[in-house]
A and B are shown apart, each in its own frame.
Chain A
């Protein structure tokens, strides 16, 4: 029985030593780099589902095979996790014993001077006084130990300290990342200018939770989108500035405060931040039924299709019989050329136009299959008319009418809660400081021994750090 246990402990020890050996750590480090490559060459689900779907359409067989290897979720895959978890275990296994050792060496005086200094580096003999040298080395902030006729002095503990700090900081960064992914959330919501967004799950267009995130952790706030200004370059049509003015309150009853959100300056509520991520147009429409009663009125967000904000979407009116739907396009500055589809030539609304294709029949909303709000399922519908409208114009058809009342911009608010980001940031800063210390501090020892009437001096530079020779030469010159 005891033999089996020994065997188990023994093999565990063997494995542990293998894992924490520098060679293994180096291999794991290189492997982490290599393992990250496929995720940069293949589309990843975390960066959007559509490119992955396109890849599946283009290469169905290959995609299926790659999907079995988690190639579209590389950074969450078991094999990638296995590599970096092993790397971190190996790192901890390397660092902890060194932390203990470094702590001990800080408490202990420097080791005794070797008996034969002439065997050490930069050995020199000169006439000098041991006590004067001791004082000098202390004044240069060496840790000095003097016993009998020798001095042992050591300096540059910062190097190992920095080295350990750097590696421990990496663990801190990993901790921050894990906290963020466990207790974080992110979501998107399209908000028309003039409307309110209050931070509850049902107000999101899409929302994803970390594994341990619960609804209660959502920071309570209400944002009213007051105004949105987009500036474009009239020559290149490229955007130059987006400014969103909002009124913010921590609860629906609280007094709102005015704030500005820009692309590079989000709105912060503790560890939750609100980002301005995209913008587009929502045409304002009124739909009436055959008897002239209003059956739908409001702003309908459409999705931009190009840099000039040619936008498409759908308007669905389910509460009529038959149901009515419109396939809708909006062009802020219309450009129509013969033989070419209509498009927008500028992202600002200089000459806006609404295109509608009107359908009546069954919208198929109530059959339980989820539908995109931007797409009309026309399988059980009949097209009854195509029309382009200017602001104020109305299109009439047998079962009712649609009036194009105007338009408002919409903004996409990207709301992210990441409680680990501060920890990761502290880890990052400490990592850089540790790295600087470990690469630029020089760890060295200097020994002096009285030999008859003269002194012998020699030293040892750890990691072949340069400069010790000059340092010793300077001491010899100054004190002989």
Chain B
């Protein structure tokens, strides 16, 4: 097949993964809605939904369907990313469209892998929304035809540095969603208690721990991504650190997560304070991706949008 055909194939895969993610989104939404309005609880004479013990056997089936859809969508997206790479004859990480589809893939994989250990299916709804938004923006606004690399990107470090950064992005994003969930549930609890749907979500302690573990797990990889970037910059641009906006924000993200880890481990910050710090650190990463790529200046102008 020619490069052009592979590019078409890639687009079809990405589109079909979006269809499947949409099905996953609806299944998760249905499951959520079902558990919010439990018919058994409504029939009871007490009438107080909050105090009823809920039976989730009915939603279990639809929750399984939703997870299967997430797995299928992620597989299709993987095929989309790989065929994009084949069409361009290189790793598919050279413009913002490609970063975005690979990033959405990394994010889904981070979620699915965490799912093996923790029952995170309650996160399925926000996660399918995020993936759909990222893919939707990618294919409409950020799309660029598949093209070979400019000389500055022709390096093994493209594979190493960018893949590390994308994996970190996926996991940071997941930690952000969990910290956001923590803050929301915390305020719900302070206002008088969780509604039936929220009752089956993990307790605050677990969420707090989970966000910490994700960050602690991926922080060394982020350090590696920054150092690998520095080595590459030394090869390509003649200096390993130049306070280019992208580098500066990568440094800020690193410092913010370092502060988060210190605050947790050494000072013993937990709960709201830690969750806010985690959200702040994660948002510096997103700012770096969105703002610096699109409106920023400097040497990391590979979005393909200018």
Query: Which residues on A are within 8 Å of B, measured CB to CB?
Result: 22-23, 25-26, 29-30, 32-33, 36-37, 39-41, 43-44, 46-47, 51, 74-75, 177, 186, 233, 236, 238-242, 262-266, 273, 275, 277, 414, 416, 418, 421, 424-425, 428-429, 431-432, 435-436, 439, 463
What are the nearest 3 A-B pairs in CB distance? A33-B255, A40-B248, A263-B151
* Closest CB in chain A relative to B265 CB, distance in Å: 6
- Neighbouring A residues of B217 by C-beta, 8 Å: 439
Please report the C-alpha to C-alpha distance between residue A22 and residue B252 in the assembled complex, in whole angstroms: 19
22 contacts between A and B (CB under 8 A): A22-B266, A30-B256, A40-B248, A46-B243, A47-B298, A233-B148, A239-B151, A240-B149, A263-B152, A263-B236, A264-B152, A264-B154, A266-B235, A266-B238, A275-B238, A414-B238, A418-B239, A421-B234, A421-B240, A425-B231, A439-B219, A463-B265
- Neighbouring B residues of A266 by C-beta, 8 Å: 235, 238
- Contacting residue for A416 out of B230, B239, B256, B292, CB 8 A: B239
- Neighbouring B residues of A262 by C-beta, 8 Å: 151
CB of A51 within 8 A of CB of B297, answer: yes
**Stretch of B33-41, B73-81, B220-228 lying at the A interface:** B220-228
Name the residue of chain B whose CB is nearest to the CB of A435: B220
Whether a CB of chain A sits under 8 angstroms from the CB of B241 is: yes
* Closest CB in chain B relative to A273 CB, distance in Å: 7
* Closest CB in chain B relative to A241 CB, distance in Å: 6
- Contacting residue for A44 out of B231, B243, B266, B284, CB 8 A: B243
Whether a CB of chain A sits under 8 angstroms from the CB of B263 is: yes
CB of B235 within 8 A of CB of A241, answer: no
CB of A40 within 8 A of CB of B151, answer: no
Whether a CB of chain A sits under 8 angstroms from the CB of B244 is: yes
Whether a CB of chain A sits under 8 angstroms from the CB of B262 is: yes
- Neighbouring B residues of A264 by C-beta, 8 Å: 151-152, 154-155, 157, 232, 235-236
Please report the C-alpha to C-alpha distance between residue A32 and residue B242 in the assembled complex, in whole angstroms: 16
Contact A435 B236, CB 8 Å, known A25-B262, A29-B259, A233-B148: no
- Contacting residue for B220 out of A39, A44, A421, A436, CB 8 A: A436
Given A30-B259, A263-B151, A416-B238; 7 other pairs, CB 8 A cutoff: A75-B243, A186-B238, A240-B149, A241-B151, A275-B237, A429-B227, A432-B220
Please report the C-alpha to C-alpha distance between residue A435 and residue B226 in the assembled complex, in whole angstroms: 14
SS class of chain A's interface: helix, strand, loop or mixed?
helix
Please report the C-alpha to C-alpha distance between residue A40 and residue B150 in the assembled complex, in whole angstroms: 25
- Neighbouring B residues of A439 by C-beta, 8 Å: 216-217, 219-220
- Contacting residue for A428 out of B154, B227, B238, B284, CB 8 A: B227
CB of A40 within 8 A of CB of B292, answer: yes
Please report the C-alpha to C-alpha distance between residue A414 and residue B233 in the assembled complex, in whole angstroms: 13
Number of A-B residue pairs, CB cutoff 8 Å, is 119
* Closest CB in chain A relative to B152 CB, distance in Å: 5
CB of A265 within 8 A of CB of B235, answer: yes
CB of B248 within 8 A of CB of A36, answer: yes
Contact A26 B220, CB 8 Å, known A40-B245, A264-B155: no
- Neighbouring A residues of B154 by C-beta, 8 Å: 241, 263-264
Whether a CB of chain A sits under 8 angstroms from the CB of B210 is: no
- Neighbouring B residues of A25 by C-beta, 8 Å: 262
CB of A277 within 8 A of CB of B223, answer: no
Within B19-60, the residues touching A (CB, 8 Å) are: none
CB of A33 within 8 A of CB of B251, answer: yes
User: Which of A186, A241, A264, A421 neighbours the largest number of chain B CB atoms within 10 Å of its CB?
Assistant: A264
- Neighbouring B residues of A428 by C-beta, 8 Å: 227, 230
Whether a CB of chain A sits under 8 angstroms from the CB of B249 is: yes
* Closest CB in chain A relative to B63 CB, distance in Å: 27
Whether a CB of chain A sits under 8 angstroms from the CB of B177 is: no
- Neighbouring B residues of A242 by C-beta, 8 Å: 151
Please report the C-alpha to C-alpha distance between residue A280 and residue B218 in the assembled complex, in whole angstroms: 43
Within B248-270, the residues touching A (CB, 8 Å) are: 248-249, 251-252, 255-256, 258-259, 262-263, 265-267
- Contacting residue for A47 out of B147, B220, B236, B242, CB 8 A: B242
Name the residue of chain A whose CB is nearest to the CB of B153: A264
- Contacting residue for A240 out of B148, B263, B267, B297, CB 8 A: B148
- Neighbouring B residues of A47 by C-beta, 8 Å: 242-244, 298
Name the residue of chain A whose CB is nearest to the CB of B155: A264
CB of A431 within 8 A of CB of B238, answer: no
CB of A40 within 8 A of CB of B249, answer: yes
Name the residue of chain B whose CB is nearest to the CB of A43: B297
- Neighbouring B residues of A431 by C-beta, 8 Å: 223, 227
Contact A277 B238, CB 8 Å, known A39-B243, A43-B297, A428-B227: yes
The interface bits of chain B over 140-182 (1 if a CB of A lies within 8 angstroms of the residue's CB, else 0) are 0000000111111011010000000000000000000000000
